[in-house]
Chain A
Amino acid sequence: MRTRAEFETAFEALGDAARRDVLKVMGAALAMSGLSACEGEPDPRAIPYVTAPENLIPGKPRFYATAVTFGGYAQPVIGTTYDGRPTKLEGLPNHPMSGGTTDAFTQGQVLDLYDPARSQTVRRDGRPASWALFEAAMVDNARRLDARQGEGLRLLTGATSSPTFARELKALTDRWPMARWHVFEPVHEDGALEATRIAFGRPLSMRLQLDKAEAVVCLDADLLGPGPHQTARGQAWAKARLAFQQGSGRSHLLVIEPAPTQTGVMAQDRLAAGHARIGQLTQALAAACGLGHATVALSPRETDWIGKAAALLQAAPGKALVVAGPQQPPEVQALALQLSARLGAIGQTLILTEPVLLQPPDGPTSFAALTRDLLAGKVDTLAIFGCNPVYGCPADLAFAPALAKARTVVHAGLHLDETAAFAQWHAPLSHALESWGDARAVDGRPSLIQPLVRPLYDTRTIPVLLEALQGRPGAADRDLVMQTWRLAWGDGFDDRWKTTLPKGFVDEPLPAADAQAGALPAIAVPPDGGLEILFRPDASAWDGAFANNAWLQELPKPFSTLTWDNVVEISPALAKEKGVQNGDVVRVTSGQRAIEGPAWIMAGQDRGTVVVRLGYGRRLPGGLADQIGYDAYPLRLSSSPWRVTGDLARAGKRHKLAPVQPVTEAELADFVRTAPADQARTVKRAKTVSPSFYPDKPQAPPQWGMSIDLDLCIGCNACVIACQAENNVPSVGKGQVLQGRHMHWLRVDQYREGPDEAPDMAFQPTPCMHCEEAPCELGCPVNATSHSAEGLNQQVYNRCIGTRTCSSYCPYKVRRFNWFDYTGKDSPQVQAVRNPDVTVRSRGVMEKCSYCLQRINEARIKAELEGRPIRDGEIKTACQQACPTQAIVFGDVSHPDTAVSRRKIQARDYVTLEEADTRPRTSYLARLKSEGA
């Protein structure tokens, strides 16, 4: 076991209290972990400060409100730092968009900060150079550009909403009017903006008010699925669902989608249909609601679905919402928008605002235009900041070759990635957690980004680089951000800055824009070109930006539970037709373009639909993601980025895939129950406790317990990563996952039942059940696992000798074993992300969910010193804190008036494997039927 002493002592050594240079002492820390064997002899060294910083208490964490960015949007967070090391991100509690919750990507970003494969030095033509050289070169370049009004200067970035970037950009274009800004974002929302332009005359951002919506119809729109909007939408949807549970208001969710999504799982009626077909069905639905007319021939099932949807929508005027996904053709989305408008959604369930993301001059065609100009030799200097176009470039745009035509290509990124290889200059970029900046959340509220730690390496932020580009080297990122807000706030700046920084965000959402629906768009039916091949971001790697994150890579993907790979998802029917098994490598062709990847049979997928996942097949030397999975971009077209047609055939090879859960078919009723809606409001009969040979455990308060509402769980996996970050859970790699040795303390089980075409699917988070009559405790010969007076099932790593009896006896198999030394060889960076309040487990010991014991102990000590009992809600487990829908509630079950007790008395409360009679403290709330509510 190691860390605590090592790091505490090591990091005490650092100068400045708030943010200190981690790597300076990392060496020492590593040396020490070498010194202290796994048995955890105390580290003999004690290294105090030279000058103790203001109000720093050694060993106590500090918290900073800040934000990380995802797809250009801010994800507001509170950063936990121990002696200068950021170790954990939590949602920003008062932020209306997240309500203090996070998604899996946000949880994972703290690991990205420490990614050992990050770029650390300036490079020129691939060889290490220095900032001085770089800045000198930029000064010369700026002089040249001055002469020509900046003609030939092109700036290429990812999507961004940063006010500071906007200001910098303006400054730059004022000085160099001929310069031009382009955007490259593989998973973009251009379609949605285009749709609003068609429907309302100008591009607008849609802010869905799911908390106000009682009837929602999703047309290929994965509202609750992964992405920058997941936290906000999950939280809002849960509000509506809770209201429905309490009997106020209804909650209807109907979905048509080509492939299963989390939204589809939560739907009361899910219909699988092809991407193109959905356009026609949208027309039919609109017609059924009296908007336009459709001449589409419908199958009985479709008729039934449309009829039901139309009825439910019209029964909820002002509370209805129809959404077509950003991957649908803009016309279809526009039609959905106008249908929503007709149903009185505008201003109620749908608020339209000016675009949250900054819009480049060429709009959706921005990147295509740049490539064109490159080929035309119009580009002199190309600055590529914070995006990776060489990797994500659509097949019809020969971007990489075109780069050769530019005089100077400057690339700045977190990694020495595919694009860096084509640039004369590469500059290492700072991670959001180590830099100053700003960005807008999905609701438009600006967040201030402040560093939790001094940059690990000598890196810069994009605004600073923009300054350098203009020949003004050495700007400080902090000053640039302050400058932005000084202009925005004027005189009141100093006070507002002081108050806003700790708060983390400016509470000014974008105002609603008035929008009048125009004429109905005509919806073209695309010609049938064989199979529909759909491009979707990956739930772990997204567009490739998170590919190098071990936590995310080992995060089981929805439905397939696969790790460390992306797959070609096909329907069971197609699999039978083509004779394809899971893991067979298939060749997906569209026109002249083709890719090869392992197939996965996805129950519930539309027959003619093939889903390929972006974000893999990276060429990232030295990185985890290097060469894993297949690259889907070579099949993509800038003209139709989300759907191409083509064919699929077996390639005759096989590829080993590593699903965390090999079997997903099950009788749902055994594990995930469904109850009539009123059971959320009725109290259950006092259950008779079956007799036990052992005396009942004393129930003196507090007695900890957990309740998980399966009616709210959207299977987003945020809890899994939150748990991993909080409890130093190691990632073990594909090989070990294949052997059934993944280490997640909390897993989200996935089940499906019924016909392959339309299975009933469900998610079930499964932590340790903390049984009152725990078999593991009976089994352990050395008392390494035992029962605490507060009802916790304790695991003492340093006492464990690894007989594994506990796991053999555990009916839930939630215990995890350190088959090898999974932690000893971690790089110093990765060691720095560890939570010092949790022992790092060494080889040969069992570990498992502890209900976040460290948080319980912290709260207990606090309460005892204040001479009061622990308040309800004072302790939040990591999973509970992250959960966007607040499906997880933890607390004292011995007190009748705690949130958890109020849940456990509901009639729909139940425990899994009741026949094992271990009296679990973790119980579930059954899913509710929406019909007739």
Chain B
Amino acid sequence: MPAAAAAPRKKPAPTKTNFAPVTAEVTRIPLDFPQRRNWWIFFVASSALLGLYVLSMVVLFWNGVGMWGVNIPVNWAMAIAMYIWWLGIGHAGTLISALLLLLGQHWRNSLNRFAEAMTLFAVVCAGMYPILHLGRPERVFWMAPYPSTLGVWPQFRSPLAWDFFAVATYLIVSVLFWYIGAIPDFAATRDRSRTRPAQLFYGLISLGWRGASRHWLRWRQAYRLSAAIAVPLVVSVHSEISLLLAAGPVPGWNSTVFPPYFVFGAAFSGFAVVAMIATVLRRAFALENLVTPRHLDLLGQLTLLTGMLTAYGYFAEVFSALYGNDKADLLVLHDRLWGTYAWSYWGAWFFNFAPLQLLWIKRFRINPVWLFLISLSAATGMWMERFMLLVTTLYRTGLVSSFHSYTPSVWEWTQYIGSIGLFMTPFLLFVRFLPMISAFEINEARDEGKTVDEA
């Protein structure tokens, strides 16, 4: 879209030859941090949450998973729901940076770095849950295929076995992709840093980058390659997660719509959270001219798109239940709509889709506050959906005799609230010490004669 149409900019577009401003603007943040006081406030707060997380974990491991409200039949609940939720959030980062990179969408450059960081920390939060919820967490490594003295292997028909691979692979690839992508900027920061410790730190993590053309050549290969690996993972990982539920003969789970349904939902919640972070960061660090209204606009559009796809998933579920007219499926549908946990079902519908409709209008898309609020609502809605998927399905299934309700215990809540700390703390450190926007990629794009909007 033409630059003129974009929102007014603080600075004139830098000329081709002069890259300094962008790089400087990005690297000044770690080197000479603007928001020290606010940062500390946030950091202390999130560290406190992290502390709560650790405490809950200790209590859990000491007493056993009975500390949670889970029971038979509802023996999976918040833990698994949160696992799916966090992992879903993670996916958007990869989509934005890797997919758009391969598609040559340069406008991603302003977003990809912190989007990827978000992915990393979200995946960590997610990856912890399957371990926490185990009866014998100390035995989790039995899920990994290794030549044991027992002479037995994992059970490869099980979705959980593949879960293990999926998440592990995803984490590794995300780390690689993010790190490789950041090396040139690490180097730039190194060159601009004045204190010896800073120089050493950035020097080390930039692995001796000197910007030689051979460096750039190798770098490009590695970067695009890891991108090419990352993109299909987004689809495969969350489809796999959906099988965790869909593979069982459980009415309400055992449905072919689940894989796409899960991937859409994941991307939806992910884009929402990216939008939230983007709006906050650009406000906090005055990056309006790097993260421009157009970026918000595009994020809004993506959120809207994936949101509507998710809505379709909901619709398809209801439809197939009614159309299939299977007694068990209808019972589950009934329990979701009118049962004990109906709030989670209607909550999901409401928070996911009511505010979302505002995004049809551009004014709301480019308005950071509105975009933030709508995204927040979407994240909440997806939380409820994941909860609904687990609990409303399990608490009344099979024989009437085994119906039993479920209430999350205090320790389940603290574990969840704490996990936000587990996400925020490293993210704040990232914002504080690393270049959070890919300066060199923007420059590169502008070198090719594009504006920041496009770049």
Contact = CB atoms under 8 A, between A and B. Distances in A.
A–B direct contact (CB < 8 Å): yes
B403 A819 contact: no
Contacts of B399: 671, 749, 766, 811-813, 912-913
Interface residues of A, number: 58
Given A801-B140, A820-B66, A821-B64, A663 B250 contact: no
A663 B73 contact: no
B75 A663 contact: no
A781 interface: yes
B71 A741 contact: yes
A751 B400 CA distance: 8
Interface in B417-432: none
B63 interface: yes
Nearest to A764: B401
B247 interface: yes
Nearest to A665: B400
B450 to A, nearest CB: 48
Interface stretch (B51-59, B159-167, B202-210, B257-265): B159-167
A662 B72 CA distance: 13
A741 B72 contact: yes
A813 B398 contact: yes
Interface stretch (B102-110, B131-139, B228-236): B131-139
B135 A781 contact: no
A779 B400 contact: no
A895 interface: no
A807 B398 CA distance: 12
A775 B134 contact: no
Interface string B123-144: 0000000100111110110110
A741 B65 CA distance: 12
A139 B437 CA distance: 99
A809 B159 CA distance: 12
Interface stretch (A271-279, A533-541, A839-847): A839-847
Nearest to B406: A740
B65 A811 contact: no
A470 interface: no
Contacts of A917: 249
A661 B401 contact: yes
B405 interface: yes
B388 to A, nearest CB: 16
Contact of A812 (B139, B153, B155, B398): B398
Contact of B75 (A775, A808, A916): A808
A857 interface: no
A808 B394 contact: yes
| Interface residue SS majority, chain B | loop
B139 A804 contact: no
A803 interface: yes
Nearest to B155: A783
A807 B248 contact: no
A37 to B, nearest CB: 11
A812 B400 CA distance: 9
A924 to B, nearest CB: 12
Given A782-B142, A801-B140, A917-B249, A817 B75 contact: yes
Nearest to A661: B401
Q: Which of A740, A749, A805, A807 has the most CB of B within 10 A?
A: A740
B94 to A, nearest CB: 25
A766 B72 CA distance: 15
A520 interface: no
Contacts of A739: 69, 71
Interface in B286-331: 326-328
A735 to B, nearest CB: 10
A662 B73 CA distance: 12
Interface in A783-833: 783, 786, 799-805, 807-813, 815-821
A801 B136 contact: yes
Given A740-B71, A804-B76, A820-B64, A913 B155 contact: no
Nearest to B159: A779
Contacts of B134: 801-803, 844
B111 to A, nearest CB: 36
Given A663-B400, A812-B398, A781 B64 contact: no
B215 interface: no
A779 B70 CA distance: 19
A805 B160 contact: yes
A780 interface: yes
A781 B161 contact: yes
Interface string B72-106: 11111000000000000000000000000000000
Given A783-B152, A808-B76, A740 B404 contact: yes
Contacts of B244: 805
Contacts of B157: 778
B398 A844 contact: no
Interface string A879-920: 000000000000000000000000000000000110111100
A846 B140 CA distance: 15
A666 interface: yes
A930 B120 CA distance: 68
A53 to B, nearest CB: 39
A747 interface: yes
B340 to A, nearest CB: 11
A575 to B, nearest CB: 22
Contacts of B163: 781
A844 B63 CA distance: 10
A844 B134 CA distance: 7
A731 interface: no
A811 B249 contact: yes
Nearest to B156: A781
A371 interface: no
A283 interface: no
B135 A804 contact: yes
A741 B71 CA distance: 6
A782 B328 contact: no
Given A671-B400, A779-B160, A808-B76, A662 B135 contact: no
B357 interface: no
A777 B156 CA distance: 11
B248 A809 contact: yes
Nearest to A781: B160
A40 to B, nearest CB: 13
Contact of A802 (B71, B135, B154): B135
A193 B131 CA distance: 66
B66 to A, nearest CB: 3
Interface string A730-771: 000000100111000001011100000000000010100000
A810 B397 CA distance: 10
A819 B404 contact: no
A355 B60 CA distance: 61
Interface string A630-666: 0000000000000000000000000000000111111
B406 to A, nearest CB: 8
Contacts of A804: 70, 75-76, 133, 135
B402 interface: yes
Contacts of B397: 811, 813
Nearest to B68: A819
A182 B394 CA distance: 57
Nearest to A819: B66
Closest 10 CB pairs of A and B: A802-B135, A844-B135, A819-B66, A740-B71, A813-B402, A749-B401, A781-B160, A809-B248, A740-B404, A666-B400
Given A809-B248, A813-B73, A915-B327, 14 more contacts: A671-B401, A741-B72, A747-B401, A750-B401, A751-B400, A778-B248, A781-B143, A801-B136, A803-B160, A805-B160, A808-B248, A820-B66, A913-B398, A915-B326
24 contacts: A662-B403, A671-B400, A736-B66, A751-B401, A766-B399, A778-B157, A778-B247, A779-B247, A780-B158, A781-B155, A786-B155, A799-B142, A800-B135, A808-B76, A808-B250, A808-B394, A812-B398, A813-B402, A819-B65, A820-B63, A844-B64, A844-B65, A844-B136, A918-B249
Interface of A: 661-666, 670-671, 736, 739-741, 747, 749-751, 764, 766, 775, 777-783, 786, 799-805, 807-813, 815-821, 843-846, 912-913, 915-918
